Structure 1
């Protein structure tokens, strides 16, 4: 085996995990796109909504994914703007991870800085709170 061939094999193996994640995400989107969450009985009710009567950050997420899978980003944004806003970010992070894997970089916690993780968590919690108070009713699904 030549050195170039060994590098190609190593790179191909390094891409297996990012490709598997993309395949799993694609399969999940395809499933939600095929099984309409707007039809009662296809999916369980959100446990947080059921117990508290309040919307969680994910409420409307399945219907938003369904709308995105059917090419309707406006409806998706109306159902869960936080999720829709995260799609480009997740695509960027996945692309960065894939490129890092291709180049032989390590898969470690330094791929995303802690400040970004904290910013995401704070944003999600703020979204969660605001969508449940009168001023943020427009954020409710």
Structure 2
């Protein structure tokens, strides 16, 4: 077998022309509808009012905040356009929303073009994300660090 020069290697995966765009965009559309539903419920049913949602099980059992505590209130604040309040409730959620929106846009674009599936994130990114979440969890429960608490 004769090796091919590097200039002849395709830079992007081949497209799947056998599947129409409507079918390729089904899962991005379902995902967008689910995310929209979540934001709509968080917007309409105010999580700041007692009794609208159950208490965080981790908070109820341990009395400490988990990394997700304040996510509903941050989502509610974002749905009302209040970025400062959302950052006060859970800054990690706001950062996660930005990353998820960018990832969704990339995924939908690749689906639109008919490109093959994206590969999973490299291990170093997943380990880094794990340690960021653990550090956030630890820091938001430190005495005196009330600026990270969702209250």
Band the TM-score falls in, shorter-chain normalisation: 0.7 to 0.9
Task: Report the CA distance between 1:86 and its aligned residue.
Answer: 1.3
Task: Report the CA distance between 1:137 and its aligned residue.
Answer: 2.6
CA distance in 2, matches of 1:94, 1:119: 20
RMSD: 1.8
Gaps of 5+ in 2: 1-16
Aligned to 2:74: 64
Aligned to 1:85: 95
Distance 1:44 1:85, change over 3 A: same
Aligned to 1:115: 124
TM-score, normalised relative to structure 1: 0.88
CA distance in 1, matches of 2:49, 2:123: 39
Aligned to 1:42: 52
CA distance in 2, matches of 1:135, 1:123: 20
Larger radius of gyration: 2
CA distance in 2, matches of 1:78, 1:22: 26
1:12 alignment partner, SS class: helix
Aligned to 1:140: 149
CA distance in 2, matches of 1:38, 1:53: 18
Deviation string for 1:103-125 (max 9, x for gaps)? 223335x1433322222221111
Gaps of 5+ in 1: 1-6
1:116 alignment partner, SS class: helix
More helix by share: 1
Whether the aligned pair in 2 keeps the contact of 1:37 and 1:62 (CA below 8 Å) is yes
Aligned to 2:104: 94
CA distance in 2, matches of 1:76, 1:55: 16
How is 1:124-135 mapped onto 2 (pairs within 5 angstroms)?
Answer: 124-134=133-143
